[in-house]
């Protein structure tokens, strides 16, 4: 009998606590919406992205993983910079090949003129 009375009192205390929490918490209204956590673009805007920049890049977690918009923005920027670097490398390689061809061409002409 004592155990039954203890359980009834415990149940009454729990019900009272829940009721007070629900009724007492309603005065200020619902909790305000939290602004979504957004990536602060930590990629340097004034210089090309380096290996250390990519290594230190961390995306904020979302309920189902990473925020796709943040990842898409970062990957888009990295892709654009890599394409820009590839174009610059191709341009420099072409210029180097032209300079080498120009350096070898005058050396061949005097040798050919001396044979005639």
pLDDT digits (tens, 9 = 90+) for 76-86: 888 888 888 88
**What's the CA gap between 14 and 42, in Å, rounded?**
49
- Cβ pair 59, 67 in contact under 8 A: yes
**Overall residue count recorded for the chain in this entry:** 116
Q: How far is CA 96 from CA 32, 69, 72, 87, in A?
A: 62, 40, 36, 14
pTM of the predicted structure, to 2 decimals: 0.45
The two structure tokens encoding residue 7: 């359980």
Instruction: Give residue 68's pLDDT.
Output: 81
Residue carrying the six token digits 């300079």: 99
Instruction: Give residue 92's pLDDT.
Output: 96
In tens, the pLDDT along 19-78 reads: 877 776 655 666 667 666 666 667 788 888 777 787 777 777 777 777 788 888 888 888
């Amino acid at each position: 009998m004592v155990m039954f009375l203890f359980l009834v009192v415990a149940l009454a205390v729990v019900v009272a606590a829940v009721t007070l929490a629900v009724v007492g918490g309603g005065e200020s209204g619902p909790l305000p919406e939290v602004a979504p956590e957004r990536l602060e673009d930590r990629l340097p805007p004034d210089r090309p992205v380096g290996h250390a920049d990519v290594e230190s890049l961390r995306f904020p977690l979302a309920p189902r993983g990473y925020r796709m918009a943040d990842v898409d923005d970062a990957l888009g920027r990295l892709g654009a910079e890599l394409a820009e670097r590839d174009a610059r490398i191709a341009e420099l390689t072409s210029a180097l090949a032209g300079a080498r061809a120009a350096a070898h061409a005058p050396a061949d002409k005097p040798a050919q003129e001396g044979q005639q």
